[in-house]
Structure 1
Amino acid sequence: MSSHRPGNALPFLLLQAFRTLIDELHVRLAEAGHPDLRPAHGFAMQMIRQGGSISDLGRRLGVSKQAAHKTVGGLEQLGYVRRTPSARDQRQVDVVLTERGMEALMLSGEILNELREEWAETVGGPEMTLVEDTLARVARPGGIERVMGWLGS
Protein backbone atom coordinates (compact mmCIF):
# COMPACT_ATOMS: atom_id res chain seq x y z
CA MET A 1 0.00 0.00 0.00
CA SER A 2 1.47 3.33 -1.06
CA SER A 3 1.29 6.39 1.16
CA HIS A 4 0.11 9.71 -0.20
CA ARG A 5 2.62 11.51 2.02
CA PRO A 6 6.34 11.81 1.34
CA GLY A 7 8.71 10.18 3.82
CA ASN A 8 9.87 13.54 5.13
CA ALA A 9 6.34 14.19 6.44
CA LEU A 10 6.62 11.46 9.08
CA PRO A 11 9.02 13.15 11.50
CA PHE A 12 6.99 16.35 11.35
CA LEU A 13 3.71 14.53 11.98
CA LEU A 14 5.26 12.74 14.95
CA LEU A 15 6.67 15.99 16.29
CA GLN A 16 3.36 17.83 15.80
CA ALA A 17 1.47 15.07 17.61
CA PHE A 18 4.02 15.10 20.44
CA ARG A 19 3.83 18.88 20.69
CA THR A 20 0.02 18.80 20.74
CA LEU A 21 0.05 16.23 23.54
CA ILE A 22 2.68 18.00 25.65
CA ASP A 23 1.14 21.45 25.17
CA GLU A 24 -2.23 20.17 26.42
CA LEU A 25 -0.51 18.41 29.32
CA HIS A 26 1.01 21.72 30.38
CA VAL A 27 -2.28 23.59 30.04
CA ARG A 28 -3.85 21.10 32.42
CA LEU A 29 -0.86 21.10 34.78
CA ALA A 30 -1.11 24.89 34.97
CA GLU A 31 -4.83 24.64 35.75
CA ALA A 32 -3.98 22.16 38.53
CA GLY A 33 -1.49 24.47 40.24
CA HIS A 34 1.75 23.88 38.31
CA PRO A 35 1.90 26.86 35.93
CA ASP A 36 5.69 27.17 35.84
CA LEU A 37 6.51 23.64 34.70
CA ARG A 38 7.96 23.33 31.19
CA PRO A 39 8.50 20.25 29.00
CA ALA A 40 12.22 20.19 29.84
CA HIS A 41 11.30 20.03 33.52
CA GLY A 42 9.29 16.88 32.92
CA PHE A 43 12.22 15.11 31.27
CA ALA A 44 14.53 16.21 34.07
CA MET A 45 12.16 15.16 36.86
CA GLN A 46 11.77 11.71 35.28
CA MET A 47 15.54 11.29 35.43
CA ILE A 48 15.84 12.84 38.93
CA ARG A 49 13.32 10.30 40.17
CA GLN A 50 15.93 7.62 39.39
CA GLY A 51 18.23 9.16 42.01
CA GLY A 52 21.75 10.49 41.92
CA SER A 53 23.78 13.64 41.61
CA ILE A 54 23.67 16.57 39.19
CA SER A 55 26.42 14.84 37.20
CA ASP A 56 24.26 11.70 36.99
CA LEU A 57 21.36 13.83 35.81
CA GLY A 58 23.51 15.45 33.13
CA ARG A 59 24.62 12.04 31.83
CA ARG A 60 21.06 10.74 31.75
CA LEU A 61 19.77 13.79 29.92
CA GLY A 62 22.78 13.99 27.61
CA VAL A 63 23.62 17.54 28.68
CA SER A 64 26.59 19.18 30.37
CA LYS A 65 26.93 19.29 34.14
CA GLN A 66 26.42 23.06 33.87
CA ALA A 67 23.13 22.62 31.99
CA ALA A 68 21.97 20.02 34.51
CA HIS A 69 22.96 22.38 37.35
CA LYS A 70 20.90 25.17 35.78
CA THR A 71 17.89 22.87 35.38
CA VAL A 72 18.16 21.69 38.99
CA GLY A 73 18.46 25.30 40.18
CA GLY A 74 15.28 26.27 38.36
CA LEU A 75 13.37 23.25 39.67
CA GLU A 76 14.69 23.95 43.16
CA GLN A 77 13.44 27.55 43.03
CA LEU A 78 10.02 26.27 41.96
CA GLY A 79 9.95 23.79 44.86
CA TYR A 80 10.08 20.57 42.80
CA VAL A 81 13.49 19.28 43.87
CA ARG A 82 15.97 19.64 46.71
CA ARG A 83 19.60 18.81 47.20
CA THR A 84 20.58 16.34 49.88
CA PRO A 85 23.88 14.82 51.06
CA SER A 86 24.66 11.65 49.13
CA ALA A 87 24.39 8.39 51.04
CA ARG A 88 26.98 6.88 48.66
CA ASP A 89 29.68 9.55 48.67
CA GLN A 90 30.18 12.28 51.28
CA ARG A 91 31.69 14.56 48.62
CA GLN A 92 28.55 14.47 46.49
CA VAL A 93 25.13 16.02 46.72
CA ASP A 94 22.14 14.14 45.36
CA VAL A 95 19.06 15.71 43.85
CA VAL A 96 15.68 14.38 44.96
CA LEU A 97 12.10 15.24 44.16
CA THR A 98 10.13 17.07 46.81
CA GLU A 99 6.55 16.19 47.64
CA ARG A 100 5.50 18.87 45.12
CA GLY A 101 7.74 17.26 42.49
CA MET A 102 6.27 13.80 43.10
CA GLU A 103 2.78 15.29 42.96
CA ALA A 104 3.54 16.93 39.61
CA LEU A 105 4.85 13.66 38.14
CA MET A 106 1.85 11.70 39.38
CA LEU A 107 -0.51 14.34 38.05
CA SER A 108 1.31 14.34 34.70
CA GLY A 109 0.78 10.59 34.44
CA GLU A 110 -2.92 10.95 35.20
CA ILE A 111 -3.34 13.73 32.65
CA LEU A 112 -1.45 11.79 29.99
CA ASN A 113 -3.75 8.82 30.62
CA GLU A 114 -6.75 11.12 30.13
CA LEU A 115 -5.26 12.56 26.94
CA ARG A 116 -4.54 9.10 25.58
CA GLU A 117 -8.18 8.17 26.15
CA GLU A 118 -9.34 11.38 24.47
CA TRP A 119 -7.17 10.62 21.46
CA ALA A 120 -8.55 7.05 21.38
CA GLU A 121 -12.08 8.48 21.33
CA THR A 122 -11.09 10.71 18.40
CA VAL A 123 -9.34 8.11 16.23
CA GLY A 124 -10.88 4.92 17.62
CA GLY A 125 -9.61 2.50 20.24
CA PRO A 126 -8.22 -0.11 17.83
CA GLU A 127 -6.48 2.57 15.76
CA MET A 128 -4.91 4.10 18.87
CA THR A 129 -3.63 0.70 19.96
CA LEU A 130 -2.26 0.10 16.45
CA VAL A 131 -0.40 3.44 16.52
CA GLU A 132 1.09 2.69 19.95
CA ASP A 133 2.05 -0.88 19.03
CA THR A 134 3.62 0.27 15.77
CA LEU A 135 5.63 3.03 17.43
CA ALA A 136 6.78 0.58 20.11
CA ARG A 137 8.07 -1.74 17.37
CA VAL A 138 10.15 0.92 15.61
CA ALA A 139 11.37 2.99 18.58
CA ARG A 140 14.74 2.22 20.11
CA PRO A 141 14.59 0.99 23.71
CA GLY A 142 15.67 3.59 26.27
CA GLY A 143 15.24 6.41 23.79
CA ILE A 144 13.67 8.77 26.31
CA GLU A 145 16.94 9.14 28.15
CA ARG A 146 19.34 11.65 26.67
CA VAL A 147 16.53 13.35 24.72
CA MET A 148 17.42 16.77 26.09
CA GLY A 149 20.97 16.64 24.78
CA TRP A 150 19.74 15.30 21.46
CA LEU A 151 17.36 18.24 21.15
CA GLY A 152 20.22 20.61 21.89
CA SER A 153 18.99 21.83 25.26
Structure 2
Amino acid sequence: MLVDALHTELARQGHPDARPMHGFALQALGPDGATAAELGRRLGVSKQAAGKTVDALERLGYLERVTDAHDARRRVARRTERGVDLLRRSARIFDELRADWARTIGPGRLDELEDDLRRVTPADVWRIDVPGWFGAP
Protein backbone atom coordinates (compact mmCIF):
# COMPACT_ATOMS: atom_id res chain seq x y z
CA MET A 1 0.00 0.00 0.00
CA LEU A 2 2.72 2.51 0.97
CA VAL A 3 4.87 1.61 -2.04
CA ASP A 4 1.86 1.76 -4.37
CA ALA A 5 0.86 5.19 -3.06
CA LEU A 6 4.43 6.42 -3.41
CA HIS A 7 4.67 5.27 -7.03
CA THR A 8 1.26 6.64 -7.93
CA GLU A 9 2.41 10.06 -6.72
CA LEU A 10 5.80 9.70 -8.45
CA ALA A 11 3.95 9.02 -11.71
CA ARG A 12 1.84 12.12 -11.17
CA GLN A 13 5.02 14.13 -10.59
CA GLY A 14 6.70 13.08 -13.84
CA HIS A 15 8.17 9.65 -13.13
CA PRO A 16 5.58 7.22 -14.55
CA ASP A 17 8.14 4.50 -15.34
CA ALA A 18 9.74 4.40 -11.89
CA ARG A 19 9.57 1.03 -10.15
CA PRO A 20 10.59 0.07 -6.59
CA MET A 21 13.74 -1.69 -7.81
CA HIS A 22 14.79 1.48 -9.61
CA GLY A 23 14.86 3.41 -6.36
CA PHE A 24 16.86 0.69 -4.61
CA ALA A 25 19.37 0.59 -7.45
CA LEU A 26 19.76 4.36 -7.64
CA GLN A 27 20.31 4.51 -3.89
CA ALA A 28 22.79 1.63 -4.01
CA LEU A 29 24.86 3.41 -6.66
CA GLY A 30 25.83 5.95 -4.01
CA PRO A 31 26.89 9.50 -4.81
CA ASP A 32 30.01 8.38 -6.70
CA GLY A 33 28.39 5.68 -8.84
CA ALA A 34 29.35 2.03 -9.19
CA THR A 35 30.10 -0.64 -11.75
CA ALA A 36 27.45 -3.25 -12.51
CA ALA A 37 29.43 -5.81 -10.49
CA GLU A 38 29.60 -3.47 -7.48
CA LEU A 39 25.91 -2.67 -7.81
CA GLY A 40 25.10 -6.39 -7.93
CA ARG A 41 27.04 -7.01 -4.71
CA ARG A 42 25.34 -4.07 -2.99
CA LEU A 43 21.89 -5.27 -4.01
CA GLY A 44 22.60 -8.97 -3.49
CA VAL A 45 21.90 -9.86 -7.13
CA SER A 46 24.02 -11.22 -9.96
CA LYS A 47 26.19 -8.98 -12.10
CA GLN A 48 23.90 -9.84 -15.02
CA ALA A 49 20.77 -8.79 -13.13
CA ALA A 50 22.46 -5.57 -12.06
CA GLY A 51 23.55 -4.97 -15.66
CA LYS A 52 19.96 -5.33 -16.87
CA THR A 53 18.83 -2.87 -14.22
CA VAL A 54 21.55 -0.42 -15.28
CA ASP A 55 20.46 -0.81 -18.92
CA ALA A 56 16.84 -0.06 -18.00
CA LEU A 57 17.74 2.94 -15.84
CA GLU A 58 19.96 4.33 -18.58
CA ARG A 59 17.14 3.98 -21.14
CA LEU A 60 14.82 5.85 -18.77
CA GLY A 61 17.36 8.63 -18.27
CA TYR A 62 17.94 7.94 -14.56
CA LEU A 63 21.62 7.13 -14.89
CA GLU A 64 24.52 7.39 -17.29
CA ARG A 65 27.60 5.29 -17.83
CA VAL A 66 30.91 7.11 -17.67
CA THR A 67 34.56 6.15 -17.70
CA ASP A 68 36.02 5.90 -14.21
CA ALA A 69 38.30 8.88 -13.58
CA HIS A 70 40.82 6.60 -11.82
CA ASP A 71 40.74 3.60 -14.17
CA ALA A 72 39.88 4.10 -17.85
CA ARG A 73 39.07 0.36 -18.18
CA ARG A 74 36.11 0.67 -15.81
CA ARG A 75 32.64 1.94 -16.73
CA VAL A 76 30.75 3.44 -13.82
CA ALA A 77 27.01 4.00 -13.68
CA ARG A 78 26.07 7.23 -11.96
CA ARG A 79 22.85 9.11 -11.37
CA THR A 80 21.71 11.81 -13.75
CA GLU A 81 19.79 14.87 -12.57
CA ARG A 82 16.62 12.95 -13.44
CA GLY A 83 17.75 10.11 -11.17
CA VAL A 84 18.53 12.51 -8.33
CA ASP A 85 15.13 14.15 -8.86
CA LEU A 86 13.44 10.75 -8.57
CA LEU A 87 15.20 10.05 -5.27
CA ARG A 88 14.45 13.49 -3.84
CA ARG A 89 10.78 13.26 -4.79
CA SER A 90 10.60 9.72 -3.40
CA ALA A 91 12.01 10.87 -0.06
CA ARG A 92 9.62 13.83 0.13
CA ILE A 93 6.60 11.70 -0.80
CA PHE A 94 7.61 8.99 1.67
CA ASP A 95 7.86 11.60 4.44
CA GLU A 96 4.36 12.84 3.57
CA LEU A 97 2.95 9.30 3.58
CA ARG A 98 4.69 8.52 6.87
CA ALA A 99 3.18 11.69 8.36
CA ASP A 100 -0.25 10.46 7.22
CA TRP A 101 0.35 7.17 9.02
CA ALA A 102 1.44 9.06 12.14
CA ARG A 103 -1.78 11.08 12.05
CA THR A 104 -3.81 7.90 11.63
CA ILE A 105 -2.24 5.64 14.27
CA GLY A 106 -0.37 8.24 16.33
CA PRO A 107 3.32 9.11 16.24
CA GLY A 108 4.17 6.95 19.26
CA ARG A 109 2.55 3.85 17.78
CA LEU A 110 4.29 4.47 14.45
CA ASP A 111 7.65 4.70 16.23
CA GLU A 112 6.88 1.41 18.02
CA LEU A 113 5.91 -0.23 14.73
CA GLU A 114 9.15 0.90 13.11
CA ASP A 115 11.12 -0.36 16.14
CA ASP A 116 9.36 -3.73 15.86
CA LEU A 117 10.22 -3.96 12.18
CA ARG A 118 13.87 -3.13 12.88
CA ARG A 119 13.96 -5.91 15.48
CA VAL A 120 12.89 -8.54 12.96
CA THR A 121 15.21 -7.27 10.21
CA PRO A 122 18.75 -8.69 9.99
CA ALA A 123 21.30 -6.27 11.45
CA ASP A 124 23.88 -6.83 8.71
CA VAL A 125 21.69 -5.70 5.82
CA TRP A 126 23.26 -2.91 3.76
CA ARG A 127 21.16 0.13 4.55
CA ILE A 128 19.89 2.01 1.51
CA ASP A 129 16.81 3.37 3.20
CA VAL A 130 18.34 6.00 5.45
CA PRO A 131 18.00 9.74 4.94
CA GLY A 132 20.85 11.27 3.02
CA TRP A 133 21.46 8.22 0.79
CA PHE A 134 21.76 10.28 -2.35
CA GLY A 135 24.20 12.83 -0.96
CA ALA A 136 24.53 16.41 -2.04
CA PRO A 137 23.79 17.23 -5.67
- Structure 1 length as normaliser, TM-score? 0.77
**Cα distance, 1:117 vs structure 2:** 0.5
Q: Which has the higher helix share?
A: 1
- For the 8 Å contact 1:42–1:105, the answer to whether it is kept is yes
One-letter code aligned to 1:137: R
Counterparts of 2:120 and 2:17, CA distance in 1? 33
Would you say 1:25 and 2:6 are equivalent positions?
A: yes
**Cα distance, 1:48 vs structure 2:** 1.3
Would you say 1:132 and 2:104 are equivalent positions?
A: no
Q: Among residues 23, 34, 40, which one is paired with 1:58 in the alignment?
A: 40
Counterparts of 1:23 and 1:98, CA distance in 2? 24
Q: Among residues 80, 94, 109, which one is paired with 1:112 in the alignment?
A: 94
Counterparts of 1:145 and 1:133, CA distance in 2? 15
Structure 2 residue aligned with 1:81: 63
> Which portions of structure 1, spanning 4 or more consecutive aligned residues, are displaced by more than 4 angstroms?
none
Aligned pairs, how many?
127
Counterparts of 2:124 and 2:14, CA distance in 1? 30
Structure 2 residue aligned with 1:47: 28
Flag the 1:142–1:102 CA change in 2: closer, same or farther, 3 A: farther
Paired residues for 1:86-101 under 5 Å: 86-101=68-83
Structure 1 residue aligned with 2:135: none
RMSD, aligned α-carbons: 1.7
**Cα distance, 1:28 vs structure 2:** 0.4
Gapped regions of structure 2 (runs ≥ 5): 129-137
**Cα distance, 1:145 vs structure 2:** 5.9
**Cα distance, 1:144 vs structure 2:** 5.1
For 2:69, what is the secondary structure of its paired residue? coil
Gapped regions of structure 1 (runs ≥ 5): 1-19, 147-153
One-letter code aligned to 2:63: V
Task: Give the greater-gyration-radius structure (CA).
Answer: 1
- Deviation digits for residues 38-58 of structure 1, max 9, x if unmatched? 111111111112522111001
